[in-house]
Structure 1
Amino acid sequence: MGKLKQLSIIVFLLIQSFANSQNYYFKEYQPFNKNIPTPEEFLGYQIGDYHTRHDLIVAYLEKLASLSNRVSIEVYGKTTENRKLLVLTITSLKNHKNLASLKEKHLQVVSEKTNVTDYNNLPIFINLAYNVHGNEPSSSEAALLAAYTLVASENPKIKEYLDKTIIFLDPTINPDGRDRYTNWVNRYKGNPLIADKFDIEHNEVWPKGRTNHYLFDLNRDLLLAVQPESNARLKWFHQWYPNVVTDFHEMSTTSTYFFEPKPLSASLNPVTPNENYTSLTLTFAKQFSADLDKIGSLYFTKERYDATYPGYGSTYGDLQGSLALLFEQAASRGLVQETTTGNLSFAFTIRNQYVSTFATIKAAIKNKKLLYTYQNNFFKKAIEQASKSKVKGYIFGDNYDKNRNKAFVDLLLKHQIKVYPITKNKTVNNKVYKKGNAFIVPTKQKEYLMIRTMFETYKKYRDSVFYDASSWSVANFYNMKYGTLLKNPILKNEITLASNNITTHNFALSNYAYLISWDDYYSPAILYKLQQKGVIVKTAMQPITTIANGTKKYFDRGSLLIPVSIQNMTKDTLFSILNTVSKQHSIQIYTVNTGYSLKGIDIGSTNFVTLKQPKVMMIVEGGTSSYEVGEVWHLFEQRMQMPIVKVPERIFNRTDLQRYNVIILVSGNYEQLSKKIKDKLKQWVAQGNTLITTRAASSWVIKNEIVAESLLKTVKDSTKIRIDYANSRGVIGKQNIGGAIFKINLDLTHPIAYGYHDKEMPIYKNNKVFLNPSKSRFSTVAKYTQNPHIDGYVTPYNINNYIKKSAAIIVSEIGNGRVVLFADNPNFRGAWYGTNKLFMNAVFFGNLIKVPY
């Protein structure tokens, strides 16, 4: 065959490929501006033939912005791995020129202070958001096609859409996770394609691409605002308050396609207005079904996915006057995969997401008046509800921990909740809230529904099976003491993110010693920084009252002592280091000029024990929970600014354990650890080291006889009552603990509890690990109370037979070392500020624990 003929065939195939792409995806919107490159022309492959890397997505969208006056582009944030978070604003040239004034008019509609009834001159604002889970990639490919269509189509329909809408297209909410998955699939793509579900292409390895850099599920993070992607997205959202928000996902390969309406909230007192379910989503569903019917796609609604948790991309907007919409597409998990009804191609999954994208635009235009009327009334109705409520405000604050207070106030401010400092001490329900450490959130404000989300707790539900957590009273996440107010005092000096700062006072150079309270959330961070700089630090095993910074001051157990005379540096160098770290972590340091205390131990007491610098390792990969790994990793690096060595389970057998004095095991099956390795681990602990386990790992060390502890025995239900088969899911599912908040009782004298001042505190439980209290009378650090239930769904059976009887934290001694067992995850979703300190205490103070008999 001649070269010319070969070239002709190649050109013909390329033309056919382009034609097929046009017909398969967007035949309806032809013709297109030939000066605008298609995604295929720019990328060099047809959409659906490869998975597109995020840098190529960004490059293509930047190309569109450079060629068309229909689109502008904004980088609204960066990921941890420095990938761009961007949003395209796509609309008509006229709307672009008037965007500032249109935004102002739109925000007047959203405002609780203005009543707008004429929306004729306003376009509808739509946020098309894609790919929050990195290994659910079809939506970002659909985003490329949608962007091209909106920018390049000369079809009258598209021109009408552009005139009537302002479209914000966010192609990839989770770029770090997407690229992790994209590189996997492109690496193992078969040639020819392989549909076999057991092929490596369809089975990515740990940690998979669902999560972001720190292995967080960003679809659970929007309420909690822990990760940079979520913080950037929240900031952008509250600048625009779009009328409609989309949230595109993928689900099991064996399924079909899901769109709203979701089932009603499982809560008997839902925060989201019923109108959202009964009017808006049902109206949009008509358009979704009509468009998917045209291409023969199967779908379902009103089952499986609930709207109970307010932090999804498909629910957060519902608390802001938007209509937030969930789409779930059966995943090909690669280019093509076999199913029981035939092969499912990546291109097919992309087309469904593309069709739903334009169905959303069409439905939004058709229902403009309904959406704007709903949004115009939304915050007004919220204030009306607040006015009718007996609760006029929430007072909250911790009298000891300023940084934890700041973190919670920062979170409220990110959600546009107004917060005020108290101007004088106030007692509510026998709890004293002190000026400088306490705050008030009045309920009569536009974010009333978000305030309810932050503070209200629930114990009764209409359903017993949840897609996710059943509790999220965020004040409990922060172990924040709070009370309700039936009348607010006069509120002054509204706090802003810029003004929410912690002030530390100057302290004098000492020739003798310095003291630092262990009360603050960031106390572990300042301790590690001091150790890193070669400072010798002791901790108090008993309380001390002394003259510090010129006044009488009480220091509780765990407080840090830095004697001057024992340091391997000059007193001036030490003072300079202390000044620096105090400012870095916003923690007060106190000057002490005498060893003689007013009360309690003296500075020279043996109850001040020198602390070892922790050298921490965590087993990762294998069967470990990537979520829990990521939570610990994030806590160490981003909060405590500490290194943590992450050793893959597959090489643990050849790891030199003598490098470390703390090892962390998060939930996992640890199947790759042989009996010989388990014995090695046990011997390492016995040498004086600390092993920390969470959730399933605590069960694992018991079952593998690494510790001489036990689990509560299962109480078997002997009843044989006949139950209808159709109810089996609910009957079985309700026995799980999907995520609820319980109260524990702490031994405040134990090193694991240093820095805590209240014996009772909330903890999150989403498992069925029930630890028997330790055989040692002194080793049960925390036990669930006899009335433990605070928030979320749980059966009385589980409370009475397990939770009331079990321990939350125990310490088990092995030789000169110990294992600290947490029944639960104290670092859940990076948002449990209240229990993080328990975990960090195990890291820093574990080697202090000597169990007396």
Structure 2
Amino acid sequence: MMRFSTLLAALSFFLLSSGVRAQNPADAEASMEYYLPAEASYDSSIPTPEEVLGTVPGQWHVRHDQLVQYMQAVAEASDRVTLHEYGKTYEDRPLLYLTITSPENHGNIDRIRQEHLALTDPDRSGELDTGNMPIVLYMGYSIHGDEPSGANASLLVAYHLAAAQGGEVEQQLANSIVLLDPSLNPDGLNRFASWANTHKSKNVVSDPNSMELNQRWPSGRTNHYWFDLNRDWMLVQHPESQGRIENFHRWMPNILTDHHEMGTNATFFFQPGIQSRTHPITSPENQELTKAIAGYHADKLDKEQHLYYSEESYDDFYYGKGSTYPDVNGGIGILFEQASSRGHAQESIHGVLTFPFTIKNQFLTSLSTLEAAQDLRVDILNYQRDFFKKSRQAGDEASTAAYVFGTPYDRARTHHFVEMLKRHRIELYELAEDIDVDGESFEAGSAYVVPSDQKKYKFIKALFERRTTFSDSLFYDVSTWTMPYAFNLPFVEVERGVARGDKVEGLPSFPEGEVVGGRSSYAYLFEWDEYYAPRALYRLLDQGVRAKVATKPFTMNLDDGEVKTFDYGTVMVPLGPQRTDREKIHQLIEQAAEQDGVTVYGMGTGLTSAGIDLGSGSFEILEKPSVAIVSGEGASSYEVGEVWHLLDQRYEMQATLLPGNRIARADLSRYNVMVMVNGRYDGLANESVEELRRWVQNGGTLITTKYANNWAREQGLAHIKFVESEADTLEGSKEVKPKAYADMNKSRGAQYIGGSIFHAILDLTHPLGYGYNDNDLTVFRNSTLFMKKAENPYATPLYYTDEPLASGYISDDNLKQLSGTAAIVVSDTGSGRVISMTDNPNFRAFWYGTNKLFLNAVFFGQTIAGSSGN
């Protein structure tokens, strides 16, 4: 150790004496002199962050309100900067970005934007002279709130571009439009800043065991509902993403930077990533330009003697991330990953890593991106023009002339799919005539056409394709996302054009239902098909209205002479006996039609023409769901957040986030439904386990997903069995065949299911199948948990087909184990029910197709007849 210290001291002396500054992360200082280029001069009329906030970036973690305060001050002081607010987060924080360019460009900003957008129009782009056009950059920081070096660096980037003087920066601004988004996740950033600042010591502690460096569940990575916003670029389910995607298409940037952090013991990463894992739709030209830009990052970091790497660890496959979404939309996405101090300083294998050091790397690579954009400006602009020309040409020549999708049974689900497509500026039309293709029927008025002959064809193909073969079996994220499968919408690829009706312009209006038959004198009926039928039912139950659900179908004569068959799961609201005033009930029914898209039938009699009558015992009385979601350490915050968001935002239901450590002390009789998502619950106290057991036995409905099923089984709550893997066991007579050590990670990783789509068979007569109209259901899976079918033949309402793979990657061994296994098993424990789901039906808020499975468990779990599992 002494010899090493002596050598290190000698090396430091040599570097200093030779005029080379040693860049030790531990020596980084939170000062403007440390961050800013030594050769630059700055306009004194532009305030520094310290002058506005009273602190230099890196001394403390910037709060979002401080970030907004400084951006407002810069915009007010500089004629290079304008400030735009483009929305609000769930916690009502403003979402904003700066437009930074020369004063001359600001004077012509609308003309510049329109001309730039013309570059994406194959019919107009050939007329444009790219040699005289500015390049557009979107610089986005800290979409993960606990990766704060980006957001803190944005203070420096804004100051530098607003205040730096000289010909170089003036030329850069004349040739560029910089859209600077200082915080892509304000709620998460603020949550983390509060944690880090609250636990900071006067004498900064770098011990990795420090509370400052170990956040409490659920961490600041995610947004208010604990979603990873960097997976939402394509899915656009949250206000942060919706505003950001609107900005993206308003400008169609050429380069988008996405500033992140990674493990403390790493260094610094920039793209391109692993080439064998780049999505095949991404063009080689895109990767070549990304590599050319990477040279500028390397030069900048070389001068500072900062360690970095590229073409490892990360890939460009999933198009729902900030670094990949531009790649399929004519731009170049660049991921930056900085080793994280996670606080103000932390020990690492490279010494103490300080917060200022992490900020400087993000600042430096922001500048190197801008420099690359200047030198490669014409090449990148030409690439954007060529991209859309080639995309439309590929669509013209594609064997698939159009994609047709839609269902008459659930207009809201179809509506949300159309809404998502329009957020991405995809051209689509209403279907003009009924068609039958490949065994699927589509009706005019409930189906849509997405033609291939349009400039967005590459993105459309990425959304609709079913891919089951891959050049690499490892994925940083999911291996597929076939959107119609996610929405459980029938869809087909047609080889010839189909009759198009009206073009869908802008975001579609929400489809309203109606009250057929008007004000009722006996009962109201509505089927469970519509996506928001649970919202309508909850509102009724919450207002004290009695409701029942049909466990058998029946047929009724309507007032207009039509004969209608009502399916399993039809909800009946009788007018007698009721405690709620009939006028109030009618108002709630009208609200269901208007706001929930539900068609309600007013009936004047309880006598049916076939099947059960309305007074039959085959109508089960429904209780208002009172839901608790077990939360806290051990539970997946992502999946807790998905349930919370689903119930709170979409269905306007109250749901209690119940900390696991409160279960033993809580009055569980307040709840009739409890949810335990994927996680490890070994930390629950014995008293908590006993309270849960008593609660289920007394009639509660417990819903468990993924690895929570293991815990429920071990506690004797779920009567389930798992398929044991044979891949990891060796018989004594077999010899172990040696393999190359270098292939170990790849071989093991190939057995991981990162996210694929599978066909399953649903029992439409089971309460969990209510509201579905096709027993072929596509489900999302990202685990290797394989559950056997229940011995009781009525206790497995959903199971995988014998050939289940619909889209995505799965190893042959895992596919064999998955085939024919259970996706859901229902166990009865005392008077209660445990509903075990091997998969997550609420994945990332966009898996609309299986949300109904989960809501059925919430609303109808209480009605499932005793049918013990294994």
Q: 1:371 aligns with which of 376, 380, 391?
A: 380
Q: Which residue of 2 aligns with 1:310?
A: 319
Matched, 1:203 2:218: no
Matched, 1:103 2:113: yes
Q: How does 1:756-771 map to 2 (within 5 A)?
A: 756-771=772-787
Q: Which residue of 2 aligns with 1:709?
A: 720
**C-alpha distance in structure 1 between counterparts of 2:36 and 2:537, whole Å:** 60
Q: 2:370 aligns with which of 337, 348, 361?
A: 361
Unaligned runs of 5+ in 1: 1-16
Q: Which residue of 2 aligns with 1:6?
A: none
258-267 or 696-705: bigger deviation: 258-267
Return closer, same or farther for 1:553/1:295 CA change in 2, 3 Å cut-off.
same
**C-alpha distance in structure 2 between counterparts of 1:490 and 1:542, whole Å:** 39
Kept after mapping to 2: 8 A contact 1:745/1:759: yes
Percent identity over the alignment is 39
Q: Which residue of 1 aligns with 2:840?
A: 825
Shift of 1:462: 1.2
Shift of 1:19: 10
Shift of 1:815: 1.2
Q: Which residue of 1 aligns with 2:143?
A: 132
Return closer, same or farther for 1:455/1:511 CA change in 2, 3 Å cut-off.
same
TM-score (norm 1): 0.96
**C-alpha distance in structure 1 between counterparts of 2:225 and 2:576, whole Å:** 42
**C-alpha distance in structure 1 between counterparts of 2:577 and 2:81, whole Å:** 65
**C-alpha distance in structure 1 between counterparts of 2:632 and 2:858, whole Å:** 21
Matched, 1:81 2:76: no
451-460 or 716-725: bigger deviation: 716-725
Matched, 1:740 2:756: yes
Q: Which residue of 2 aligns with 1:280?
A: 289
**C-alpha distance in structure 2 between counterparts of 1:606 and 1:589, whole Å:** 22
Shift of 1:99: 0.6
Q: How many residue pairs end up in the alignment?
A: 834
Q: Which residue of 2 aligns with 1:157?
A: 168
Amino acid at match of 2:687: K
SS at match of 1:780: coil
Q: 2:859 aligns with which of 828, 839, 844?
A: 844
Q: How does 1:223-242 map to 2 (within 5 A)?
A: 223-242=234-253
Kept after mapping to 2: 8 A contact 1:29/1:153: no
SS at match of 1:745: strand
Kept after mapping to 2: 8 A contact 1:29/1:149: no
**C-alpha distance in structure 1 between counterparts of 2:737 and 2:559, whole Å:** 70
Q: 1:470 aligns with which of 476, 479, 485?
A: 479
708-717 or 691-700: bigger deviation: 708-717
**C-alpha distance in structure 1 between counterparts of 2:128 and 2:248, whole Å:** 23
Q: Which residue of 2 aligns with 1:520?
A: 530
SS at match of 2:353: strand
Q: How does 1:70-469 map to 2 (within 5 A)?
A: 70-114=80-124, 115-264=126-275, 266=277, 270-277=280-287, 279-469=288-478
Return closer, same or farther for 1:98/1:593 CA change in 2, 3 Å cut-off.
same
How big is each residue's C-alpha offset from its partner over 1:211-235, in whole Å with a ceiling of 9 and x where there is no partner?
0000000000111111110011111
Q: 1:60 aligns with which of 70, 74, 87?
A: 70
Q: Which residue of 1 aligns with 2:647?
A: 636
Kept after mapping to 2: 8 A contact 1:18/1:40: no
Return closer, same or farther for 1:852/1:258 CA change in 2, 3 Å cut-off.
closer
Shift of 1:205: 0.9
SS at match of 2:473: coil
**C-alpha distance in structure 1 between counterparts of 2:865 and 2:398, whole Å:** 52
Kept after mapping to 2: 8 A contact 1:780/1:811: yes
630-639 or 457-466: bigger deviation: 457-466
**C-alpha distance in structure 2 between counterparts of 1:38 and 1:104, whole Å:** 33
How big is each residue's C-alpha offset from its partner over 1:675-724, in whole Å with a ceiling of 9 and x where there is no partner?
33222211211111100001111121112322222111221342611110
Kept after mapping to 1: 8 A contact 2:549/2:621: yes
Return closer, same or farther for 1:124/1:572 CA change in 2, 3 Å cut-off.
same
Matched, 1:580 2:591: yes
Kept after mapping to 2: 8 A contact 1:71/1:91: yes
Q: 1:798 aligns with which of 797, 814, 817?
A: 814
Unaligned runs of 5+ in 2: 1-26
**C-alpha distance in structure 2 between counterparts of 1:377 and 1:46, whole Å:** 44
**C-alpha distance in structure 2 between counterparts of 1:732 and 1:795, whole Å:** 11
Kept after mapping to 2: 8 A contact 1:117/1:373: no
Shift of 1:178: 0.4
SS at match of 2:269: strand
Shift of 1:576: 2.1
SS at match of 1:539: strand
Shift of 1:571: 3.0
**C-alpha distance in structure 1 between counterparts of 2:146 and 2:385, whole Å:** 37
Shift of 1:499: 4.1
Kept after mapping to 2: 8 A contact 1:18/1:46: no
**C-alpha distance in structure 1 between counterparts of 2:509 and 2:624, whole Å:** 32
**C-alpha distance in structure 2 between counterparts of 1:815 and 1:652, whole Å:** 20
Matched, 1:675 2:690: no
**C-alpha distance in structure 1 between counterparts of 2:787 and 2:525, whole Å:** 37
SS at match of 1:307: coil
Q: Which residue of 2 aligns with 1:811?
A: 826
Kept after mapping to 2: 8 A contact 1:108/1:116: no
Amino acid at match of 1:788: P
Amino acid at match of 1:262: G
**C-alpha distance in structure 2 between counterparts of 1:797 and 1:431, whole Å:** 32
Q: Which residue of 2 aligns with 1:625?
A: 636
SS at match of 1:262: coil
Kept after mapping to 2: 8 A contact 1:426/1:432: yes
Kept after mapping to 2: 8 A contact 1:178/1:209: yes
Amino acid at match of 1:743: H
Amino acid at match of 2:521: N
Kept after mapping to 2: 8 A contact 1:504/1:587: yes
**C-alpha distance in structure 2 between counterparts of 1:498 and 1:367, whole Å:** 36
RMSD between superposed Cα atoms in Å = 1.6
**C-alpha distance in structure 2 between counterparts of 1:39 and 1:462, whole Å:** 48
Return closer, same or farther for 1:266/1:536 CA change in 2, 3 Å cut-off.
same
**C-alpha distance in structure 2 between counterparts of 1:403 and 1:707, whole Å:** 34
**C-alpha distance in structure 2 between counterparts of 1:395 and 1:165, whole Å:** 40
Amino acid at match of 2:242: N
How big is each residue's C-alpha offset from its partner over 1:500-529, in whole Å with a ceiling of 9 and x where there is no partner?
431433431111111101001111110000
Return closer, same or farther for 1:248/1:498 CA change in 2, 3 Å cut-off.
closer
Q: Which residue of 2 aligns with 1:14?
A: none
**C-alpha distance in structure 2 between counterparts of 1:570 and 1:215, whole Å:** 40
Shift of 1:480: 1.1
Kept after mapping to 1: 8 A contact 2:47/2:77: no
493-502 or 245-254: bigger deviation: 493-502
How big is each residue's C-alpha offset from its partner over 1:796-841, in whole Å with a ceiling of 9 and x where there is no partner?
11011x2014210010011111100000100011111000000000
**C-alpha distance in structure 1 between counterparts of 2:701 and 2:96, whole Å:** 44
**C-alpha distance in structure 2 between counterparts of 1:310 and 1:374, whole Å:** 19
Kept after mapping to 1: 8 A contact 2:555/2:566: yes
How big is each residue's C-alpha offset from its partner over 1:241-284, in whole Å with a ceiling of 9 and x where there is no partner?
011110000000000000111122536x712112111x211110
**C-alpha distance in structure 1 between counterparts of 2:424 and 2:485, whole Å:** 17
Kept after mapping to 2: 8 A contact 1:222/1:311: yes
Amino acid at match of 1:39: P
Q: Which residue of 1 aligns with 2:53?
A: 43
SS at match of 2:716: coil
470-479 or 678-687: bigger deviation: 678-687
Kept after mapping to 1: 8 A contact 2:706/2:783: yes
SS at match of 1:365: helix
SS at match of 2:718: coil
Matched, 1:548 2:563: no
